[in-house]
């Protein structure tokens, strides 16, 4: 990434240097006509053309400098981690804002040089803008929803999230200015949701801060089973699984006798796994290995059993 930044900086510096040379040449031509005593009509005409060229060159120079500045600032902020919620995904938004501002200033300068009444143009543009905004309320709502998502940063591409009252878990695939794309983590379907719906919903970001994720597993055993031995077997397999976090005190596996049912005791195993996306696989591995050893130890995992008494009248 640093190499790409250096290459971009060299290209922008080269472009800016060429534009500056053209600016000097254009100004030099105008000054030369004055020195040589050309007619005022010619000087005025050349001056108008020169001003238009200078505005165009200034626009190119301003855009090159702004684009390089935004890219450099956001890449450095992402690498240093000094500003929370700031990363390179915000670059397109700020580039778009800069492009709009620079374009408006350039067009205004062009019209002013051509002798047009800017106040009348701005008034007309305001009326047209109001008409467009009324006719495109839906698009504007989605746009500002996208701006809100990009600025507040509730999630980033690759995060696993739950949206609103949805119980499904989605992987964030793309964040756009009008909509966001998600992939259902379970069934692999792709969803495209409008930004207005996403920005106004409650977001549960499962992997926003860390990929570590806690899962619970329950094992039902017969009342005759030795409690301490059962806990020992369950905990041993949790520690033997390479995907389970075991080297941090706050995340170490734990097991407890959770509840009593009519036919069995229920033990709960709580483990933190290193990556949320592995939770289904790790759950299956732990269930299989723990159940196998419980059976080998003669510890029964019963179904529910009911005693039925028939009354003889």
pLDDT the model gives residue 121:
60
First to last CA, the chain: 87
Torsion of the alpha carbons at 130, 103, 177 and 5, rounded to the nearest 10 = -170
Beta 160-163 vs 203-205: how paired, if at all?
antiparallel
295-301 own/partner pairs: CB under 8 Å, 24+ apart: 297/229, 297/233, 299/221, 299/222, 299/225, 299/226, 299/229, 299/230, 299/233, 300/221, 300/222, 300/224, 300/225, 301/219, 301/220, 301/221, 301/222, 301/264
pLDDT the model gives residue 99:
81
pLDDT the model gives residue 227:
92
pLDDT the model gives residue 73:
72
pLDDT the model gives residue 287:
93
- Low-confidence stretches of the chain (pLDDT beneath 70): 1-17, 19-20, 23, 26-46, 74-90, 93, 116-140, 305
Tell me the C-alpha distance between 77 and 115, whole Å: 44
Closest CA to 148 of 90, 235, 75: 90
pLDDT the model gives residue 107:
79
pLDDT the model gives residue 175:
82
pLDDT the model gives residue 169:
87
pLDDT the model gives residue 111:
75
């Amino acid at each position: 990434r640093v190499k790409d930044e250096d290459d971009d900086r060299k290209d922008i510096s080269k472009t800016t240097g060429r534009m500056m040379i053209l600016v000097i040449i254009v100004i030099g031509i105008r000054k030369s006509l004055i020195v040589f005593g050309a007619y005022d009509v010619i000087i005025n005409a050349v001056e108008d053309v020169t001003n238009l060229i200078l505005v165009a060159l200034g626009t190119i120079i301003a855009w090159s400098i702004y684009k390089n500045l935004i890219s450099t600032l956001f890449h450095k902020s992402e690498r240093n981690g000094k500003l929370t919620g700031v990363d390179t995904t915000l670059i397109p938004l700020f580039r778009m804002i800069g492009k709009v501002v620079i374009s408006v200033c350039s067009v205004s300068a062009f019209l002013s040089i051509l002798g047009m009444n800017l106040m009348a143009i701005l008034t007309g543009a305001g009326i047209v803008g109001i008409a467009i905004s009324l006719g495109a309320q839906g698009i504007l709502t989605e746009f500002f929803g996208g701006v809100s998502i990009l600025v507040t940063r509730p999630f980033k591409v690759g995060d696993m999230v739950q949206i609103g009252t949805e119980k499904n878990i989605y992987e964030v695939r793309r964040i756009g200015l009008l909509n966001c794309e998600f992939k259902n983590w379970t069934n692999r379907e792709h969803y495209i949701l409008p930004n207005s719906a996403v920005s106004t919903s409650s977001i549960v970001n499962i992997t926003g801060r860390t990929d570590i994720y806690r899962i619970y597993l329950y094992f039902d055993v017969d009342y005759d089973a030795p409690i301490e031995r059962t806990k020992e077997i369950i905990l041993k397999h949790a520690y033997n699984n390479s995907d389970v976090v075991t080297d941090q005190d706050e995340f170490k596996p734990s097991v407890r006798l959770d509840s009593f049912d009519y036919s069995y005791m229920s033990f709960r195993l709580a483990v933190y796994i290193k990556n949320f996306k592995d939770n289904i696989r790790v759950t299956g591995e732990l269930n299989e290995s723990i159940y196998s050893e419980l059976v080998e130890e003669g510890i029964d995992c019963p179904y529910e059993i009911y005693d039925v008494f028939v009354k003889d009248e």
